[in-house]
């Protein structure tokens, strides 16, 4: 071992973390995919040198958006046969957990409401109450024809679309839709969150009348 030129001091050790090889704007913790194509929204804005140290800078909005889009907690709200397909999507064959989706049984712990099934007029106030109990930011997925437009039940007791009581972000077509369709709708919601962001989403929902839903 070569002796250090400075007497009484231990030899200098340098650890190479590979930071100097990180390109400008590198995003090591994942990427947010825009719905217009393969264009990515960088999580990390730039690599700066502050006090001799490499510092990755970003914005709080992009960090929160990345975390929210990859950790959606839907509320288990099955009303009819579409709920069976929603349960199947959470099983080991389709495994929603690999997308960061964890089903919750309480609106206080949920940020996504999946309305799966027929919505009656008596159930509509309950849906609105549960939606109001969910913390902001929050989103709604209408799963199946009944939740989307009433389906085959065009009667006095059936609500012709859950969007008459709560704002819907994603429509999943089918009667009932397969688990693959629901997973595609969840991925569409993730792209929507990555594109729109989450800061101020709850306050802006009631005022933004031009908000366009997405059909999966």
d(CA 65, CA 42): 11
d(CA 42, CA 44): 5
* Mean pLDDT, rounded, for 105-134: 88
Q: Is residue 13 part of a domain?
A: no
Same domain as 198, residue 170:
yes
Range of lowest pLDDT (66-70, 148-152, 212-216): 212-216
Q: Is residue 152 part of a domain?
A: yes
pLDDT in tens, 162-175: 888 999 988 988 88
Three-state DSSP state, 36: coil
Same domain as 90, residue 51:
no
Question: Is the confidence at residue 181, as pLDDT, over 50?
Answer: yes
Same domain as 100, residue 192:
yes
Q: Give the residue, 158 or 21, on which the prediction is more confident.
A: 158
pLDDT in tens, 57-96: 666 777 778 878 888 888 877 888 888 888 888 888 888 8
Question: Is the confidence at residue 11, as pLDDT, over 60?
Answer: no
Q: How many independent structural domains does the chain possess? A: 2
What rounded mean pLDDT belongs to the chain? 73
Do 117 and 144 form a contact (C-beta atoms < 8 A)? yes
Question: Is the confidence at residue 153, as pLDDT, over 70?
Answer: yes
Do 59 and 97 form a contact (C-beta atoms < 8 A)? no
Q: What is the pLDDT of residue 14?
A: 43
Final residue of a structural domain among 28, 58, 88: 58
d(CA 180, CA 188): 12
Do 111 and 83 form a contact (C-beta atoms < 8 A)? no
Tell me the residue length of the chain. 216
pLDDT-derived band at 52 (thresholds 50, 70, 90) equals low
Residue ranges in 58-114 assigned as alpha helix (H) = 60-69, 82-89
What domain range is 102 assigned to?
Answer: 67-215
d(CA 176, CA 117): 8
**Which of 65, 136, 142 lies closest to 107 in space, CA to CA?**
136
Q: Is residue 137 part of a domain?
A: yes
d(CA 142, CA 159): 13
Q: How many CB atoms lie within 10 A of CB 62?
A: 20
d(CA 116, CA 166): 14
Three-state DSSP state, 120: strand
């Amino acid at each position: 071992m070569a002796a250090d030129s400075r007497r009484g001091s231990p030899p200098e050790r340098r650890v190479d973390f590979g930071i100097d090889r990180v390109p400008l704007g590198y995003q090591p913790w994942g990427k947010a995919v825009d719905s217009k194509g393969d264009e990515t929204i960088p999580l990390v804005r730039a690599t700066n040198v502050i006090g001799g140290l490499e510092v990755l800078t970003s914005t709080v909005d992009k960090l929160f958006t990345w975390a929210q889009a990859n950790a959606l907690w839907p509320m288990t709200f099955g009303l009819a046969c579409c709920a069976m397909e929603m349960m199947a999507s959470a099983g080991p064959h389709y495994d929603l957990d690999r997308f960061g989706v964890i089903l919750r049984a309480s609106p206080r712990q949920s940020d996504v409401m999946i309305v799966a099934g027929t919505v009656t007029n008596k159930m509509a106030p309950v849906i609105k109450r549960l939606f109001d109990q969910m913390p902001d930011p929050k989103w709604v997925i209408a799963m199946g024809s009944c939740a989307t437009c009433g389906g085959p039940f065009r009667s006095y007791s059936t609500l012709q679309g859950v969007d008459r009581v709560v704002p819907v972000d994603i429509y999943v077509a089918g009667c009932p839709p397969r688990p693959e369709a629901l997973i595609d709708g969840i991925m569409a919601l993730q792209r929507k969150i990555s594109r729109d962001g989450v800061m101020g989403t709850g306050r802006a929902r009631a005022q933004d009348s031009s908000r366009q839903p997405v059909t999966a």
